[in-house]
Amino acid sequence: MTLHTTPPLGLPMVYLVDDEDVVRDALAWLLRSRRLLSEGFASAEAFETMLDTHPLPGRTDPTKAAWPSAPSCLLLDVRMPGMSGLVLFDNLIERGLLPLMPVIFLTGHGDVPTAVAAVKRGAFDFVEKPFSDNALVDRVERALAASGEAISRQRARQSVQRRLADLTDREREVMHCVIDGRPNKLIADVLNISVRTVEVHRARVFEKMDVKSAVELANVLRDHGNAGG
């Protein structure tokens, strides 16, 4: 089965949101030392402005690729002038960006309880300042790996949705009967068509969904999509 026909994942990107230039510069240098690309933003508002330029999950056709299309994570300061890191985090949840873009909070000692609460709500982790360089980059690399897995799962679901959209109404009817385990003769009786017509539609469903058996078809729909109503 070859459901994953979309292009491979692109280069990982780490986004840095911190109001202190020196912190962003230090983080960018640290990431470069581990061959990781980064992009910095001086405020949560600036990061949201960037987000508005991208097709985000839930805002586009579910069969089309959304952003991010490459493994990504966000290093996010908790306390900043203007919009706080926590408010931005809430907005990312509303935009459907977790877990495609895992969030690692950068916290001062007094913000640790707040960061722990954010982890319970879906943040990937938090790192307390001052932090260990190696420990931080290790967490970033794990977050990027998790992002890649989430993007791959999303692409698999989108592939199934595209294949389902390509089915005709009759093929969809036959597909539901096949998933229910009905033999061709019974499907023909239920749909009031010939057994030969059922065989043709069944073969087309298997071809379009890129499966070789009814069991494989049911597994694909269970794991990556649904039966299309």
Q: Mind listing the pLDDT tens digit for each residue in 146-174?
A: 999 999 988 888 889 889 999 999 999 99
Residue 2 has a pLDDT of 37
How many Å apart are CA 82 and CA 70, to the nearest integer? 29
User: Does pTM top 0.75 for this prediction?
Assistant: yes
pLDDT tens string 77-86: 999 999 999 9
Q: H/E element holding 72?
A: strand 72-77
166 dihedral zone (left: phi>0; alpha: psi -120 to 50; beta): alpha
Residues whose CB falls within 8 Å of the CB of residue 101, separated by 6 or more in sequence, listed in order: 15, 68, 72, 73, 74, 92, 147
